[in-house]
Amino acid sequence: MTRSRRVSSVLGEVVVALLFALFMIPFAMVVLNSAKTSKEIIFDALALPTRWGQLLINVGLIFNNRTVHYGNAFIDSVLITFFSLVVIVLFSSMCAWALVRTRKAWATILFFAFVSAMVIPFQVLMFPLVHWMRILGDFLHFRLLQSIPGMVFAYLGFGAPLSIFIFHGFIKNIPYELEESATIDGCSPAQTFFKIVFPLLQPIIITVLILNGIWIWNDYLLPLLMLGSNGAVQTIPVAVTAFAGAYLKQWDLILTSTLIAMLPVIVLYLFAQRYIIKGMIEGAIK
């Protein structure tokens, strides 16, 4: 290795280390201050905790809080995320398969319509979304606002475009001869999809689950608009803000509840990050 390459390699490692430290500082601050009282955080947020056992005390205060039902919000977040991922994977994969195997102009136009939907800012849609959700709920005589089914329906609409785009690229590489053989053997289109195509989508399904699961779990604005801040159904990001009042901010509980909300996503990402890269390459580039 020449001297110039050695120097550039060292500089690259230094830059990577600095970037890693920069991105880890907020997480480190959350961990450190989760093991402090509110007074200790206000006095010196950069100091190490005097006792790490305060973290368990803060966790107990959060789940025993009578004003903020954090345990219920955690369960609601799990249910909303789970059912949203199920419907996104199911309907997006079916839609992408139909668009790939349909040799007509409208299928191409519809696919590009889904792709173009990915670039529409949520802020443009948020108020019309709530308005039409209320109208649709009244028309169907089914409660869509302040309900888990309504949240799942909304997340299906926002998560489907990217998921269809990823599935579409992956399904194009599945040999059509497999489906023809299934049809000859007497399989219906539904049987062909669920018995032949869907099992082959396992790598890309994991990618879609991770990508959508992370943003649905961490989403704040859509649940705030559709569920409200004091509704019977809440998600964790909305519940965390309840610890910040107009005149008093419970920083110990805010940061501890934030840490609890972060842990499932961190664990999920650490175990499944290789599937994200693999699935994105196979689904979008091929």
User: How confident is residue 285, by pLDDT bands cut at 50, 70 and 90?
Assistant: very low
Q: Is the CB of residue 133 less than 8 Å from the CB of residue 154?
A: yes
| 165 against 186, higher pLDDT | 165
Strands (E), 48-205: none
Residue 224's SS3 state is helix
From 105-119, 137-151, 152-166, 240-254, the region with the lowest mean pLDDT: 240-254
pLDDT at 245 over 60: yes
Looking up tokens 């809080």 gives 65
190: how many CB neighbours lie within 10 A of its CB?
A: 9
Residue-averaged pLDDT of the chain: 84
**Rounded to whole angstroms, how far apart are CA atoms 40 and 252?**
9
> Which residue, chain included where needed, has tokens 């219920």?
72
Residue 286 pLDDT class (50, 70, 90 cuts): very low
> What pLDDT does residue 277 have?
62
Taking the C-alpha atoms of residue 139 and residue 134, their distance in angstroms, rounded to an integer, is 9
Reported as a single tens digit per residue, the pLDDT across 41-98 is: 888 888 888 888 888 888 888 888 777 788 888 899 999 999 999 999 999 999 999 9
Query: Cβ contacts of residue 201 below 8 Å, gap of 6+?
Result: 93, 167, 170, 171
Within 13 Å, how many C-alpha atoms sit on residue 150's CB side?
Answer: 27
Question: Residues 185, 188, 190, 194: what is their CA dihedral angle, to the nearest 10 degrees?
Answer: -10
For residue 64, give the nearest of 279, 256, 216 by alpha carbon: 256
pTM listed for this prediction: 0.83
What residues have CB less than 8 Å from 275, skipping those under 6 apart?
203, 206, 207, 210
Q: Among 205, 200, 207, 210, which Cα is nearest to 173's? A: 200
Pairwise pLDDT comparison (243 vs 115), residue with the higher score: 115
Distance, in Å, from the CA atom of 111 to the CA atom of 160, rounded to the nearest integer, reads 11
Q: Would the pLDDT of 131 be above 80?
A: yes
How many residues comprise the chain?
A: 286
The predicted model gives 133-157 an average pLDDT of 87
CB atoms within 10 A of CB 249: 14
Look up tokens 């608009």; give the residue: 225
As a whole number of angstroms, the distance between CA 103 and CA 105 comes to: 7
Partners of residue 249 on adjacent β-strands: 244
Distance CA 274, CA 271 (A): 8
Determine the longest span between alpha carbons in the chain, in angstroms. 74
Give phi and psi for 32, each to the nearest 5: -65, -45
